[in-house]
Amino acid sequence: MPYVESAVRGPQIVAAARAVLIRDGVAKTSLRAVAAEAGIPLGTLQHVFPSKQQLLQAVIERVVDDISDVLRRTAETDAGLAHAIRNGMRNFWSALVTDERELQVLQYELVTHALRTPGLEDLARIQYARYTEAVRQWCAEAADLAHETSAVPLDRLARVILGAVDGLILQHVAHPDPARSAADLDTVADMVVALAAPVPQ
């Protein structure tokens, strides 16, 4: 097998680990299974990630990066705060929930794993801080572009949005019902817009 630098091999291994974790769950995932998925010798994987914990940390960081990126990219900030809230939530749901049940189950499993594993606890806090900041940023951009103010601080608004959507995702993965979830998401968006009560500056 030709030599491949760790900087290149690392993302390949993380992608393989993500596939195995989605298929088998955290408890049943082994370094050997990930190596097989990646098509590399176990020793090569262990050179990059000597332990399962190090590999799981890399997967968590990658999932957080990917979801934060989607949160930023799906925002529509050019038509006011209410529009940004409604369409940001819908676009995020379409991109990362509708056909991504396994990814969302994996995310919850990784959060629980981080909270229960000494040395990884901060990863869960960092994860939600990153998501909250991404939402706060697109709310702030939308409000600034429209010269609007929110009735509540934008960091609080972002936490409320994230908490509400997180709860809807958990209900959706436990009992998938696209029509119900879409209606519930619209209801939550209406509630959040009413909470924000954007008005011109």
pLDDT digits (tens, 9 = 90+) for 92-115: 999 889 988 888 898 888 889 889
DSSP helix, strand, coil percent of the chain (3-state; round to 5): 75, 0, 20
Cβ neighbours of residue 155 closer than 8 Å, sequence gap 6 or more: 132, 136
Give the span between the Cα atoms of 80 and 86, in whole angstroms: 10
Is-contact 177 125, C-beta < 8 A? no
CA atoms within 13 A on the CB side of 188: 24
Summarised one tens digit per residue, pLDDT across range 155-179 is 999 999 999 999 999 999 999 999 9
Higher-confidence position of 159 and 75: 159
Other C-beta atoms lying within 10 Å of the C-beta of residue 97: 20
Cβ neighbours of residue 92 closer than 8 Å, sequence gap 6 or more: 70, 71, 74, 165
Q: What is the per-residue pLDDT for 158?
A: 96
Q: What is the per-residue pLDDT for 1?
A: 47
140 — pLDDT class (breaks 50, 70, 90): very high
Summarised one tens digit per residue, pLDDT across range 118-127 is 888 888 888 8
Summarised one tens digit per residue, pLDDT across range 185-200 is 999 999 999 999 999 9
Q: What is the per-residue pLDDT for 49?
A: 94
181 — pLDDT class (breaks 50, 70, 90): very high
Instruction: Output the average pLDDT for the chain.
Output: 90
